[in-house]
Amino acid sequence: MIGYVTVGTNDLKKAGEFYDKICGELGMGRFTANDRLIAWGAQGGGAGFGVGLPFDGKPMTVGNGVMAAFGAKDKAQVERV
């Protein structure tokens, strides 16, 4: 049911290096990376994990930058919800 969980960071490069090790050990590889977000996932699906700079552009603090998402079949299902 959970699609992904994202935590915030103020240092994306350092966080990416840290979570590369953890996610690699857990069998997850990077599936996307840009200047604001890095995300990992396992082959075959399942919940993903991401680390990113907070969406609002403010510094990461407790709770700012944390996000969880429910998985949906398609956009129509999202609109129904």
Residue 77: how many other CB atoms lie within 10 Å: 11
Q: What share of the chain is helix, strand, coil (3-state, %, to 5)?
A: 25, 35, 40
Q: What is the CATH number of the domain that holds 14?
A: 3.10.180.10
Span 20-74, pLDDT tens digits: 999 998 889 999 999 999 999 988 888 899 999 998 989 888 877 787 776 778 8
DSSP 8-state assignment for residue 45: -
Q: What pLDDT is attached to residue 70?
A: 67
Which domain covers residue 55, as residue numbers? 2-80
DSSP 8-state assignment for residue 60: P
Q: Indicate whether 15 pLDDT > 80.
A: yes
The tally of domains found in the chain comes to 1
Residue positions counted in the chain: 81
